[in-house]
Amino acid sequence: MKRILIIMLVMSFIITVKGQNKLMKDSILFQSIENEMEQPENTILNIKQKLHTNKQLKKEKELITKYLPDTIVQYTDNDTVKYIRNYNDNSNLTNELIQVWHNSSWVDDYKDTCIYDNKGNRTSITSKIWDNSSWLYFSRATYTYDTNDNKTEYIFELYLDSVWVNKNKSTYTYDTNNNQTCLISATWIDGAWLNKSKYTITYDLNNNKTSTTSEIWTNSVWKYYKKLSCIYNEENKITNELYENWTDSIWVNSSRITYDYDTINNKTITFSESWVNSNWKTKNRGTSTYDMNNNIISSLFETFKDSSWTNYYRLTFSYDDKNNQTIEMSELFEDSIWQNYDRYTYTFDDNNNCLTGSAEMWINSQWQKSSGNLVCYYDNKNDNISNWAELITLHYISKQVGVPLVILEEISNNNSLKVFPNPATKNITIEINSKNSSQTYTIYNVLGKEIYSEQVKTNNNKFEVNINNLDKGVYFIKTDNNFTKFIKK
């Protein structure tokens, strides 16, 4: 039990401090309704529609190689599971077959089939289970989208007595900036949808999430439950989180977290407090350090006890020469010394795709196999396989994918947006022909996915953008009515 509590606590800390695990994608398998809160992804089509009319756009296709896992084997204490995946020409996952190792052979267990619309939005997942000699329907998830490709409805059904039966439903609403503003989840009871929970989200002018308020459906009315409020600095980095509970018809403080950053926006300190007897009580502190490539190399977790900070837990990280994380090791501070706790080790191919992930635990003064939360990244860290296992092995296939590149052609010779230096490694300067004292810029990757957006103040029609945390490659930057590309080297 202690190990589970430690893992839950520290995994929460890792996600907060490292900021890496936010890259985890939805599994093809059913996820909980509460995890359905997500930001919409802008597409090239959305970008094109917002460009100024004095620009002419030409869409070209550039073939890039994507590496996708087609065979994944997961080893745990109790069983061995294999996932076999198939993809369509757009690299969307279409089928996943799950087999288990039984009596010295692979046995079918479960399979999923996905369908997509002509925009690449996944519209359904149908799951079947293997029953001795045939596949039987088990569950189905269906999705609907608005004209901006925002998911508006999700319905999950079970196949019972040869009939599809509703189970859960989520509905989503968005503002004019395509920010998700509301999620309502419902459960199918006695032939009708019964509300279950609601999340309402607000944003500032820079599209930073400022509050998330949850409500539960009680006696046919919505009742407040919890609220999270956020504050950001001038760099649009979150600096404060306040958690409150709805108690006796008022919001009551529960806990708060404060974040601090270095000069290049790496999160260095996470400081948490609890509300006790109408006062804030210091609780925990996390401190992180980084290498010259801005890879996190250590995280120290401390608790505040008897008016002083006490070591509790620490993490250390190692990387290869391509900045792939190869080792994550944790230690507990016990009997006034640091003692090994667990260790995750990863290997990568020449294309930076994870080949193996293994977990170990320090038992009887030596490292021994033990299940852990392994996260294996691939496709330039844009996707990952995450499972609780002792060992995960991955095999990849390569696909040539035509990626649409939007190329800006000036109808006139007036170049109103300049980027320099280009290529760049750490910072780029944007020069724009505009009288506005502030500008909102957005960075997209070559797939048209929004990477980052921020409102900044200009100085003599110029402003600086930190690109240090971007992976190497081609990106597009857009201001109000201007659009061009730059290269991170």
Give the model's confidence band at 464: pLDDT under 50 very low, under 70 low, under 90 confident, else very high: confident
pLDDT of residue 175: 93
Mean pLDDT of 354-374: 97
CATH fold of the domain at 412-488 = Immunoglobulin-like (2.60.40)
Alpha carbon distance 17, 13 (integer Å): 6
Is the pLDDT score of 44 beyond 90? no
Least confident of 140-144, 178-182, 200-204, 464-468: 464-468
Mean pLDDT of 104-109: 96
pLDDT of residue 216: 98
Percent residues over pLDDT 70 in the chain: 83
pLDDT of residue 5: 42
Q: How many CB atoms lie under 10 A from the CB of residue 413? A: 5
Which amino acid is present at 282?
A: T
pLDDT of residue 325: 96
pLDDT of residue 63: 67
Least confident of 23-32, 94-103, 293-302, 339-348: 23-32
pLDDT of residue 335: 93
pLDDT of residue 51: 33
For residues 419-449, one letter each, b for 16 or more C-beta atoms within 10 angstroms of the residue's C-beta and e for the rest, the string is beeeebeeebebbbebeeeebebbbbbbebe
Query: Phi and psi of 113, rounded to 5°?
Result: -130, 130
Alpha carbon distance 136, 303 (integer Å): 51
Tokens matching residue 217: 């459906």
Is the pLDDT score of 458 beyond 60? yes
Mean pLDDT of 451-472: 79
Is the pLDDT score of 4 beyond 70? no
Alpha carbon distance 437, 295 (integer Å): 34
Domain boundaries, the chain: 2-44+63-402, 412-488
Give the model's confidence band at 294: pLDDT under 50 very low, under 70 low, under 90 confident, else very high: confident
Which amino acid is present at 416?
A: S
Give the model's confidence band at 409: pLDDT under 50 very low, under 70 low, under 90 confident, else very high: very low
Is the pLDDT score of 413 beyond 60? no
Looking at per-residue pLDDT, the higher value among 49 and 426 belongs to 426
Mean pLDDT of 237-243: 96
Mean pLDDT of 210-216: 98
For residues 361-381, one letter each, b for 16 or more C-beta atoms within 10 angstroms of the residue's C-beta and e for the rest, the string is bbeeeebeebbbbbbbbbbeb
Alpha carbon distance 138, 167 (integer Å): 12
Dihedral angle at the C-alpha atoms of 198, 388, 131, 162, nearest 10 degrees? 0
Average pLDDT score, the chain: 84
Dihedral angle at the C-alpha atoms of 265, 266, 267, 268, nearest 10 degrees? -110
Mean pLDDT of 248-271: 95
Least confident of 5-14, 84-93, 103-112, 470-479: 5-14
Mean pLDDT of 3-15: 44
Looking at per-residue pLDDT, the higher value among 382 and 183 belongs to 183
Is the pLDDT score of 436 beyond 50? yes
Looking at per-residue pLDDT, the higher value among 316 and 471 belongs to 316
Is the pLDDT score of 486 beyond 50? yes
Is the pLDDT score of 108 beyond 90? yes
